[in-house]
Every structure is written in C-alpha cells, then in structure tokens.
Amino acid sequence: MTTGPDRTTVSDSVKRVVIAESRLSLAPEEIHDDEPLNGDLLHLNSLGFVGILVHLEDALDVTLPDDLFVGRTFKTVDDLVDVVAEGATGTEALR
C-alpha cells in the first residue's frame, strides 16, 4: 500500500481547485462536500477537468494517473475527492 495525502488534505485541495475553476472568492470550508460540481454555486465543465489534474498534482505533490477521470461521473465535490484520494494513494479511497 502506498501512502499519500490524508483525506482532509485532498478535500481542501479539491475545494480550492474547484473554487478557482468556478472563479469564486470563497474559502474551502464554505463548500459543502455534497455541493454539486455544476450547480448554482460551482460551475465546472469538461474543460475544467483537464486543468484540475495538473493543479491537484501541484497542490498535493503527487502524480495522478492521466486517465483518472476517464469513464467516471462526478456530481458532487465529494465524488471528486473520492477519486483524487484514490489516485493520490494508488489504493482505495480514504474513507
């Protein structure tokens, strides 16, 4: 088992990136885990996901698989946190 950043660190980094991609001025703690990624508050589109991987790798100091988002559906912030946590550790999501 490979270790990586803890779930709290991943969640904070994901929230910072989706806030930036949505061009908002909010703190990560203002985003709920069940917040829709494309809803009234956050506005992520498919192009936004392309840049997210690079930003998250920098923020978490990890290398995420290039195909991390392929074939997956993300509806909420927590969906994205689960996958990034899995990719950052190379194991199952940190729950």
pLDDT for 1 equals 53
Q: What confidence category does residue 95 fall into, taking pLDDT thresholds of 50, 70 and 90? A: very low
Separation of alpha carbons 65 and 41, rounded Å: 28
Residue pLDDT, tens place only, 51-67: 888 899 899 988 888 88
Residue pLDDT, tens place only, 10-63: 999 999 999 998 889 999 999 999 999 989 999 887 777 778 888 998 999 888
* Full-model pTM: 0.84
Q: Which residues contact 61 (CB under 8 A, 6 or more apart)?
A: 5
